[in-house]
Structure 1
Amino acid sequence: MSSRWIRKLTQITHKNKIMEVELKLRLPDSAAHQKLSDILSPYHSKTHLQQNLFFDTPSLTLATNHRAALRLRFYDLDSQSILSLKSKPRIVSGISRAEEMEEAVDPALARLCVSEPGQFKVVKESSGILKKVEDEYGVGTDELVCLGGFRNVRFVYNWNGLKLELDETLFDFGVNYEIECESNEPEKAKIMIQDLLNDNGIRFGYSQVSKFAIFRSGKLPEFE
């Protein structure tokens, strides 16, 4: 691997967040998902095809000891990839809060890290996330393995001043349907979206756990 190529691949864009706050409402089935998609179609902005892959030690040090998830997300046939670290998540009545850091990583290098997690040592040269994982959580890049993950089809809508993300998440053990909305006023967004769903006769429930937690459990949660 040439030094010039390494320099190109290790160019990282940082976007650090103190707290990510999202409304997460679960839909019961594909029919509800399709009905909501049809209603929101005039407000459609874009559709993303995502692949989410997670990394930890074989004994799950990050998840078990630190309630943290290290993820590589690939967008739209590897046109973009994002490394993220989420920690200390909690969901109460459908409102999710988690500490989050994000960095854009060259997709070619990110794919190398999937097949050879040892290549994270190259990313670490300019990564605040991997430095945090090592310095605060005591996990070196040489300890990381790929746990696998899931695919997600995300429909994005700009509706009444809100950015709505309608997800169809494909796990090996089933499909989960969810609508998300990141907002500084989650309670207000919650009322607006619940009114939209109720007015159109679409059943919903509050999401109780993250997609990563569902992946780790190996089964879809019961719809309540």
Structure 2
Amino acid sequence: MKKNHLEIEYKTLLTETEFTHLLGDFSEVKPVSQINYYIDTPELDMKKNRMSLRIRTFDEQAELTLKIPQEIGNHEYNQSLSFTEAQELIKNFSLPDGEICQLIAQTSVPVQKLAVWGQLSTIRYEKETPIGLMALDENRYADQHDYELEVEVTDPDSGKIAFHDYLNSKGIRFKYASSKVARTANSLRPAQ
């Protein structure tokens, strides 16, 4: 877990066939299971303030993450949690002390109204590549099941070109992928 950093990433949705094809590039990687629990107020105050808040749990640890969009990428703030702390927060959310609490307190978000509203489970294959940190994900949320490829880069321009070159080399057409939190929220909206 990186503590606080600027996250610049590119991603594409994948078909199941494309995902299976790319698994060969990650054959030496042990997959990690993680669950994202998304947090907001019933009035979506976090979203209105252009921020997202989640708890991500792993097998034996967890983290609280606040993402704030920047001109390029998101500034990501991470706070370590024990697995037990995370389970308590998921059941009965109360913003723990720390930098994330201080940042949200500077906004109009009523922190006492924050609660977990959705979750997304991922099986992730992650490795460093010449392009950047690449993650091949299989995601399940609500009644949805999807696949995506993400890469975290340091330079937005050369990273984007390298990512698209990689996709082309694998015969994969780029397919826009909204964020995991946005896809989860959209899956929970009633049909119009």
Please provide the CA RMSD for this pair: 2.3
Question: What residue ranges of structure 2 are gaps of 5+ in the alignment?
Answer: none
Would the aligned equivalents of 1:14 and 1:104 in 2 still touch at CA under 8 Å?
no
Output the TM-score relative to the length of structure 2.
Answer: 0.86
Question: Greater share of helix residues, 1 or 2?
Answer: 1
Pairing of 1:1-224 with structure 2 (within 5 A)? 15-17=3-5, 19-27=6-14, 29-38=15-24, 40-41=25-26, 44-63=28-47, 65-75=48-58, 77=59, 79-88=60-69, 97-118=73-94, 120=95, 123-124=96-97, 127-140=98-111, 142-160=112-130, 162-207=132-177, 209-218=178-187
Q: Which one has the largest radius of gyration?
A: 1
User: Tell me, what secondary structure is at the counterpart of 2:19?
Assistant: helix
Question: What residue ranges of structure 1 are gaps of 5+ in the alignment?
Answer: 1-12, 91-95, 220-224
Alpha-carbon distance in structure 2 between the residues aligned to 1:85 and 1:34: 31
Alpha-carbon distance in structure 2 between the residues aligned to 1:168 and 1:83: 21
User: Tell me, what secondary structure is at the counterpart of 2:42?
Assistant: coil
In the other structure, the counterpart of 1:6 is none
Aligned length: 188
Output the TM-score relative to the length of structure 1.
Answer: 0.75
Whichever residue aligns with residue 62 of structure 1, its letter is M
Would the aligned equivalents of 1:87 and 1:100 in 2 still touch at CA under 8 Å?
yes
CA deviation string 1:68-100 (max 9, x = no partner)? 11100001x2x120101112368xxxxx71222
Quote the sequence identity (%): 26
User: Tell me, what secondary structure is at the counterpart of 2:171?
Assistant: coil
Alpha-carbon distance in structure 2 between the residues aligned to 1:25 and 1:201: 13
- Using the TM superposition, give the Cα deviation of residue 162 of structure 1 relative to its aligned residue in structure 2, in angstroms: 2.8
In the other structure, the counterpart of 1:3 is none
Would the aligned equivalents of 1:183 and 1:189 in 2 still touch at CA under 8 Å?
yes
When residues 160 and 98 of structure 1 are mapped into structure 2, their CA distance, relative to the original with a 3 A threshold, is closer
CA deviation string 1:101-120 (max 9, x = no partner)? 111111111110111114x3
Would the aligned equivalents of 2:132 and 2:154 in 1 still touch at CA under 8 Å?
no
When residues 41 and 137 of structure 1 are mapped into structure 2, their CA distance, relative to the original with a 3 A threshold, is same
Would the aligned equivalents of 1:56 and 1:62 in 2 still touch at CA under 8 Å?
yes
